[in-house]
Amino acid sequence: MAEPLKVALAGLGTVGGGVIRLLDANRALIERRAGRPIEIVAVSARDRNKDRGVDITRFQWVDDMTALAEIEGVDAVVELIGGSDGPALTLARKTLGAGKAFITANKAMIAHHGLSLAQVADAQDIPLKFEAAVAGGIPVIKGIREGAAANEITRVYGILNGTCNYILTTMEKDGRDFTEVLGEAQALGYAESDPSFDIDGVDAAHKLSILASLSFGSALTFDGVATTGIRNVIAADISEAQALGFRVRLVGLAEEGEAGLFQRVHPCLVPMSHPLAHVTGSLNAVVAEGNFVGRLFFQGAGAGDGPTASAVVADLIDVARNEYGPAFAMPVESLAHPERADSGERTGRYFLRLTVEDRAGVLAEIATAMRDAGVSIESFIQRGVKEDGGALIVLVTHACPERCVTDALKRMQGSSSLTGSPMLMHILDL
C-alpha cells in the first residue's frame, strides 16, 4: 500500500466536523478509490475545547492556524476558516510557499486572491483546489474545468445561493413576503443572523466569478460582477411572474462574446420550461452552455456539512491520486483578459413592477415613458391594491437593449405617480 496522504485541517466548524466524519465513515472506500489512505494528522481552530461531536484528541493540535503549513510530513492543508483575507489567506500563502497542496471551500478568498495563489501553485506544480467553494457538493468546478473542457463555453449561469433560493421558493409556495420568510429562515438556521452576504448576492457573485474564469479561460474579476440581491422582491412579483409562466430565482449569469465579458447576479424570471425553474428549496444548480456539448445542467445540495465535506474530500482524493493540474484549468499567464461588456447593449426581455397611485393619467405617463425610451410592451397587468388604494402595475417588455429600459425608468424617476421604487427583473432566455 502506498504512503497515506497526510492532511492538516484548519477550521473545525460545521464543515470541518463533516470532513472528519466523512473520512471516518468512508475510510475503507476512500482508500480503495484514492489508492492510499487519507489521514488527518493535525487540526487547528479558534477554540480547542468546544464540543464538536467528533473526537479530535487523536490529532495533533496547533494553536496558530497558520502554523499548520509548517508541520513536518503534512502533504496537504485544508482551509475551512473562511474570510477573504486574514488567517485563511496567510495559511494559503504559507502552505503553497512550503510546496504543499492547498484545498479550500473559501469562495471569498478565491474570488479575491485566487489568481495570485494559483500563480504560486502553478509555478511549483502543486495542487490548489476549491471544488467546495462553488455550489457545495455539486462537482461543477470539475464538470466545467474537465468535463466540458473541449467546449468554448458561451454562457454559464445558475442558482448559486441556497439561502436565497429557499427564501424565494418559500415565498412562492406560501405567498408570503420577503421579511417574514427571512425571519423564519433565520430562526430555522437556514439564514445567518446577518444575512446580507447571502441576500444581497455577494456570495453568489463570488461563486459566479470563479465559474466565469473557469468557463471562459479568462482572468477572474470579482469586481466585474454587477450584483443585486433579493431584498426588494415582493410576494406580488412572484405571483404575477407565475401568472405569466415564470418563476423568480436569484440567477448568477456570465457570458462571453464579442461584446466582452458580462457577469451579473440578479433576480430573474425563469421560464417554467427551463430546468432552473424546478430548482426548489436550498438546492443549487449550474448550467453551462458549450458550442459542442449544448446545455449541461448540474444540480445538488449547495451547502451543509455533508455536501461541502464531500467536495473537500473529492479534492483530497484527486490530490492523493495525483490527478490535478492548474487551478484555473490553464496556467494563470494563459488566461485571457476580456473587456467588460457594456450591459446597456445587452438585448433581452424585462419584467417591471411599479406601484402607483390609482388616478387618471398614470397609465398614460408610464406608456409615454416607455414609448419615448423605445421600449415596446408585450404584456401589461394593472391590479388595484385594496390596502392603500394604490395600484400595482406589472409589465413585460419585448426584447430590447437594456439601456432603453434603464432610460424608461429614468424618465419615470421622481414622478409623483410612483408610490415606491420600481422593481426591474431580467427574463432568462430559454
Applying CB under 8 A, the residues found at the interface with its own copies are 18, 22, 25-26, 29-30, 32-35, 131, 137-139, 142-143, 146-152, 217, 275, 278, 290-301, 304, 306-307, 309-314, 316-318, 321-326, 329-331, 334
Residue 249 amino acid letter: R
The residues, ordered by sequence, that sit 6+ positions from 177 with a Cβ below 8 Å of its Cβ are 171, 234, 235
CB of 298 to its own copies, least distance (A): 6
Q: Do the annotations mark residue 192 as ligand-binding?
A: yes
CB nearer to its own copies: pick between 143 and 390: 143
CB of 45 to its own copies, least distance (A): 21
CB of 230 to its own copies, least distance (A): 23
CB nearer to its own copies: pick between 225 and 312: 312
Q: Do the annotations mark residue 390 as ligand-binding?
A: no
| All three cell numbers of 355 | 406601484
Q: Quick check: helix, strand or coil at residue 427?
A: strand
CB nearer to its own copies: pick between 11 and 143: 143
CB nearer to its own copies: pick between 98 and 317: 317
The residues, ordered by sequence, that sit 6+ positions from 388 with a Cβ below 8 Å of its Cβ are 419
| All three cell numbers of 65 | 492556524
Kindly write down the DSSP assignment for every residue of 265-332, as one continuous string. Answer: EEEEEEETTSGGGG--TTEEEEEEEETTTEEEEEEEE-SSHHHHHHHHHHHHHHHHHT----TTSS-G
Please give the DSSP secondary-structure letter assigned to residue 199.
Answer: H
CB nearer to its own copies: pick between 22 and 375: 22
Contacts 24+ apart (CB under 8 A), 369-377: 369/408, 369/411, 369/412, 370/395, 370/397, 370/408, 372/408, 372/411, 373/404, 373/405, 373/407, 373/408, 373/411, 374/400, 374/404, 374/407, 375/400, 375/404, 375/405, 375/408, 376/400
Q: Known catalytic residues?
A: 207
CB of 195 to its own copies, least distance (A): 23
Q: Do the annotations mark residue 99 as ligand-binding?
A: no
CB nearer to its own copies: pick between 149 and 236: 149
Q: Do the annotations mark residue 6 as ligand-binding?
A: no
d(CA 83, CA 89): 8
Phi-psi group of 102: left, alpha or beta (phi > 0 → left; psi -120 to 50 → alpha; rest → beta): beta
CB nearer to its own copies: pick between 331 and 401: 331
Q: Do the annotations mark residue 300 as ligand-binding?
A: no
Strand partners, 203: none
Nearest Cα to Cα of residue 409 among 422, 418, 397? 422
Residue 298 amino acid letter: F
Sheet holding 101-104, edge to edge: 60-61, 38-44, 5-10, 76-79, 101-104, 128-129
Alpha carbon distances (Å) from 139 to 53, 173, 314: 27, 29, 9
d(CA 212, CA 110): 13
CB of 367 to its own copies, least distance (A): 38
CB nearer to its own copies: pick between 33 and 359: 33
Q: Do the annotations mark residue 10 as ligand-binding?
A: yes
Alpha carbon distances (Å) from 160 to 79, 164, 265, 296, 304: 21, 9, 9, 16, 14
Burial class (CB in 10 A: 0-12, 13-18, 19+), 343: middle
| All three cell numbers of 14 | 460545521
CB of 132 to its own copies, least distance (A): 11
CB of 242 to its own copies, least distance (A): 17
CB of 340 to its own copies, least distance (A): 21
Residues placed in the known binding site for NADPH? 107
Residues placed in the known binding site for NADP(+)? 10-17
Residues placed in the known binding site for L-homoserine? 192
